[in-house]
Amino acid sequence: MKKEEIKEINRFRALFPSEVRVNVARSENGDFVARINTFKGLFTEGSNFSELIEMVNDAVKTYYEVPEKFIPYMPNYVPPLEAAQLLDVFPINNVKKNIVLPISTSEKVAR
């Protein structure tokens, strides 16, 4: 990898806050809907909790306009186990909770 690419990856990584605040609710059909409060006007949804978290991460990367080739080097937000328990993901219930997603430290590092 070129030095310029590593510099650009690190520039993008520095934009990501250490956590994002997300308001999660269930839609009428049972899907999850998220308002990402950290970024004004940023919403996403997923058919299950796992997909919702994936979509939250995608929304943040899209917000920062991260080029596709740098996506594997970007951080991901992961919910604490307590978030899934609070949302009572198993079984499905109608709930609404505010949760905090801290940044993951397990992504690739550009070298």
- pLDDT value of position 4: 95
- pLDDT value of position 71: 96
Are 52 and 45 contacting, i.e. CB atoms less than 8 angstroms apart? yes
- pLDDT value of position 46: 95
* Rg of the Cα atoms in the chain: 15
Render pLDDT for 66-106 as a digit per residue (tens, 0 to 9).
999 999 999 999 988 777 777 766 544 555 677 888 887 77
Render pLDDT for 28-57 as a digit per residue (tens, 0 to 9).
888 999 999 999 999 999 999 889 999 999
Does residue 13 register a pLDDT over 70? Answer: yes
What are the strands, taking DSSP E only, across the chain?
19-26, 32-36, 42-46, 96-102
With a pLDDT cut of 90, the percent of the chain lying above it is: 59
Mean pLDDT of 105-109: 70
d(CA 97, CA 101): 12
Are 39 and 61 contacting, i.e. CB atoms less than 8 angstroms apart? no
Complete domains list, the chain, with CATH: 3-102 (3.30.160)
How crowded is residue 102: how many other Cβ atoms within 10 Å of its Cβ? 14
Phi first, then psi: what are they for 27, rounded to 5°?
-80, 175
